[in-house]
Chain A
Amino acid sequence: GIEETLCTMRCTENLDDPSSADVYKPSLGYISTLNSYNLPILSYLRLSALRGSIRNNAMVLPQWNVNANAALYVTNGKAHIQMVNDNGQRVFDQEISSGQLIVVPQGFSVSKRATSDKFEWIEFKTNENAQINTLAGRTSVMTGLPLEVITNGFQISPQEARKVKFSTLETTLTHTSGGPMSYGRPRV
């Protein structure tokens, strides 16, 4: 009885096809995700994947994996990546390039900014429905917080708090003005 079921299960999906992008901004690039919703067999493996391709000076907004660890492998180009652990320490602050692999543990916040014409990567995640939460952007944790929590938490004015909440319209990819993004030793 498994001929009609398991044996017919689709096991392959192409992630290099921008037409099936989940996040797309012409000037910045695209991101596609593969999870148990669009490849059901992943619910058996309890894995998911993400494919990203961004242009120079495009930034993936700082975010964290809510329910998964991730292994990020660079397939093309370069990016400057910063990563912060649960103690608020910057644990990675380098340029990463093609052929390199880095692990992003659950909860660690990470920002990526392309520093070559095109930066492309594949990310494997240890949850069949891996979720992220972003620190900045229209669907970020900061937008979800009341102004009072932000003003009291960071001791900033309501006006500044509104800018923190509402200035960045994008959800995942945004543009940057380029230039150096890290100064000296990470804050410990």
Chain B
Amino acid sequence: QWPNECQLDQLNALEPSQIIKSEGGRIEVWDHRAPQLRCSGFAFERFIIESQGLYLPTFFNAGKLTFVVHGRGLMGKVVPGCAETFMDSPVFQQGGQFGEGQGQGQSQGFRDMHQKVEHIRCGDTTATPPGVAQWIYNNGDEPLILVSAADIANNQNQLDRNLRPFLIAGNNPQGQQWLQGREQQPQNNIFSGFAPEILAQAFKIKLETAQQLQNQQDNRGNIVKVKGPFGVIRPPLRRGQGGQQPQEEGN
């Protein structure tokens, strides 16, 4: 903190200072340089994710708590080192053999495996440590509204007193206007900064696919619209959670 940062002689209610529009929703950011936010060490955001909107995986330099104000959805966090414990059943062919397909994963006969996916609904409050990528999908009919408070004064934030989102996918054509020196710069995802050759070698994939990871010609933003089913592996809803019946499990 700078000296006298908490010498607050007048407080007032704060409104978001920037709205980042995307294809599938928007992110509203409060200017954390406002005296009372600077004193408290909080950075505050509101996420409005439209139906079928997917907030792409992003991690931050500070821990944060997120509260679901309205709606419901699915949320995933990729915690470093945790196993992909969500796995769908193997694909069986006649005669009980595993399906053979292309790619190493498919040859093992399962469609996908990934880390835990949770159902979220209004009232849920979830904690996200720094450096943990989080994604959220709105599988309801109404907008999913979440507010999150990040503690940028915590020593878990090893950078400066700015909340810095790191985008795994997607981009932010408007840029992080609240950051000095970035006012006019669009923000790209992490992959876009690496030479495609390095990505191709690291992932053992084609150069074209590596370039696709950089979302170069993509101006959908950080919340995209999913077209068609969103078939992530998830447990049935608890009975009574939002009054819905558990999802029918396929045999």
B112–A147 CB distance below 8 A: yes
Q: In the complex, A85 Cα to B169 Cα: how many Å? A: 14
> Within 8 Å CB of A149, what residues of B?
54, 56-57, 76, 135, 137, 169, 232
Q: Is the CB of A163 within 8 A of B209?
A: yes
Interface string of B93-131 (1 = CB under 8 A from A): 000000000111110000110110100000000000111
A interface residues, how many (CB within 8 angstroms): 72
CB atoms of A167 and B231 under 8 A apart: no
The listed residue with most B CB atoms (<10 A of its CB), out of A136, A179, A183, is: A136
Nearest CB of chain B from residue A102's CB, rounded to whole Å: 16
CA distance A182 to B196 in the complex (A): 8
Q: How far is the CB of A141 from chain B (nearest CB, A)?
A: 5
User: In the assembly, what is the distance between CA of A134 and CA of B81, in Å?
Assistant: 9
Are A167 and B204 in touch, CB under 8 angstroms? yes
Binds A, one of B31-39, B43-51, B144-152, B210-218: B210-218
Contact present for B202 and A61 (CB under 8 Å) = yes
Chain A nearest CB from B121 CB (Å) reads: 20
Complex alpha-carbon distance, A66 and B194, angstroms = 19
Distance (whole angstroms) from the CB of A45 to the closest CB of chain B? 14
Residue from B195, B198, B212 within 8 A of A154 (CB atoms): B212
Distance in Å: Cβ of A174 to nearest Cβ of chain B: 7
Q: Give Cα A85–Cα B194 distance, bound, in whole angstroms.
A: 10
Q: Which of A35-52 contact B (CB under 8 A)?
A: none
Within 8 A of B (CB), among A52-89: 59, 61-62, 64-69, 82-89
Q: Is there an interface contact between A106 and B159, defined as CB atoms closer than 8 Å?
A: yes
Spell out A's residues near B (CB within 8 Å): 59, 61-62, 64-69, 82-91, 93, 105-107, 109, 111, 113, 126-127, 131-137, 139, 141-150, 152-156, 159-160, 162-169, 174, 176-177, 179-183, 186-188
**Shortest 4 CB-CB contacts between residues of A and residues of B:** A88-B188, A84-B193, A66-B131, A153-B169
Q: Which B positions have Cβ atoms within 8 angstroms of A?
A: 54, 56-57, 59-61, 76, 78-82, 84, 86, 102-106, 111-112, 114-115, 117, 129-133, 135, 137, 156-159, 164-171, 175-176, 182, 185, 187-195, 197-199, 201-205, 209, 212-216, 218, 224, 226, 230-233
